[in-house]
Chains A and B, each alone.
Chain A
Amino acid sequence: MTLEEMIQAIARDHSRTAFAGLFEHFAPRLKSYVMRLGADERAAEEVVQETMLMVWRKAGAFDPDRAAASTWVFTIARNKRIDRIRREARPEYDPNDPLLVGTAPETADQPLQRRQHGDRLRAAIATLPEEQASLVRLAFFDDLSHREIATDQSIPLGTVKSRIRLALLRLRRDLEDLE
């Protein structure tokens, strides 16, 4: 069973086996992620527990055509971590907002393309020059804004912006080349 199918099995059958499978896979990664962002071990375990509980509750909202399991779980953990630090919940746009300006209706092959996209993205990241890859990692795993990365690495803000932009552009170009 893929990770995506496990989430769907929770939504469909309230499958505890599937939940355990997801927990085994994601919990140690999430713990590592949250600790890297500065939480101590106990706090990190709590964030992981809260995140996995949300995975259980929100499984029905998961749409494998829109995001990979890892992407979906990442966004939940990101929000849980922020909600813990701040008094306010993280501002999120609401897909059910009546004000939401919609996208054009999808063509039939777009969901498939999006799924293949993930594999290509993986390949593209693996080939990024180390300097660029480490900046992308800093941006996601050290809770540093572009501004803070600049201070941390003693490089000008403009340089950080352009290097991350370069890395992301390269990722995108690699993806297009593969299509």
Chain B
Amino acid sequence: MPRFHVQEDLLVDYASGALPAPVSLLVASHLTFCPRCREEVGEFEAVGGLMLEEINPIAMAADALEQALDGLVDDDVETHQGSAPPTAAKHAAKHADSGALPAPLVEVMRGGMDAISWTRRARGVEEANLIIDDARYSASLMRIQPGVSIPNHTHTGAELTLVLRGGFSDAGGHYGAGDVCHADTDISHAPTADPGEACLCLVVADGPVKLTGLVGRMLNPFLKL
């Protein structure tokens, strides 16, 4: 069970449907690891359900029900037992080449891990942009080789990092699989990947990153983290 969670306001926005796609992807991926946040999202969705009950109804077109009934096919009703195995099988197939990643992420990656083209950002640091249509936020995968530190940097906007595999440490503590690290404009951090295994993260950012410190400033033109 993760120790670092998604902020509550993001869980509310996830439940109401107001989150931009990249942030929604990160939250859904965290939920895969986190029963506690799933429970919370369920509570907020119940609030949504109640809101639906209390809303003022607006009459449908006169033939709407008839039209709906015409569209119903008996065989379309999926049985509970029937629907589970295909999903699991679909995953097994996708996971074969993506090596256990949360389903919402696998969905976005389409071609799986093999189709990802990595760009080297610094020694031992690679990044691959994920194609998600959004005007404001970007999503990318980041792979940090064991023991490698990312130069000290601050952010011009909020940045969320979800650990998918391996782990890293910064001044805030140690982050393992499922943990979410929130970085904001006033936080300067230099995360260091755990020794042993490369650390794979999903990073969702709002605005570009500014590097601080001498090495950081020198790297800055080349390093678009």
Contacts and interface: CB of A to CB of B under 8 A. Distances in A.
A101 B52 contact: no
A30 B56 CA distance: 10
From DSSP, what is the main secondary structure of chain A's interface residues? Answer: helix
Given A31-B60, A36-B55, A164-B12, A20 B69 contact: yes
Contacts of B50: 70-71, 118, 121-122, 125
Contacts of A53: 68, 71-72
Contacts of B97: none
A93 B102 contact: yes
Given A49-B71, A60-B83, A100 B46 contact: no
Interface stretch (B27-35, B189-197, B208-216): B27-35
Given A70-B49, A164-B12, A99 B102 contact: yes
Contacts of A58: 78, 83
A61 B83 CA distance: 8
A11 B53 contact: no
B28 A145 contact: no
A98 interface: yes
Contacts of B123: none
Interface of A: 10-11, 14, 16, 19-20, 23-24, 26-33, 35-36, 44-45, 48-49, 52-53, 56-61, 66-75, 77-79, 81-82, 86-94, 96-104, 117-118, 121-122, 125, 136-137, 139-141, 143-146, 148, 161, 164-165, 168, 171-172
Interface of B: 1, 8-9, 12-13, 16-21, 24-25, 27-29, 31-35, 38-39, 42-61, 64-65, 67-69, 71-72, 74, 76-80, 82-84, 87-88, 91-92, 95, 100-104, 107-108, 132-133, 178
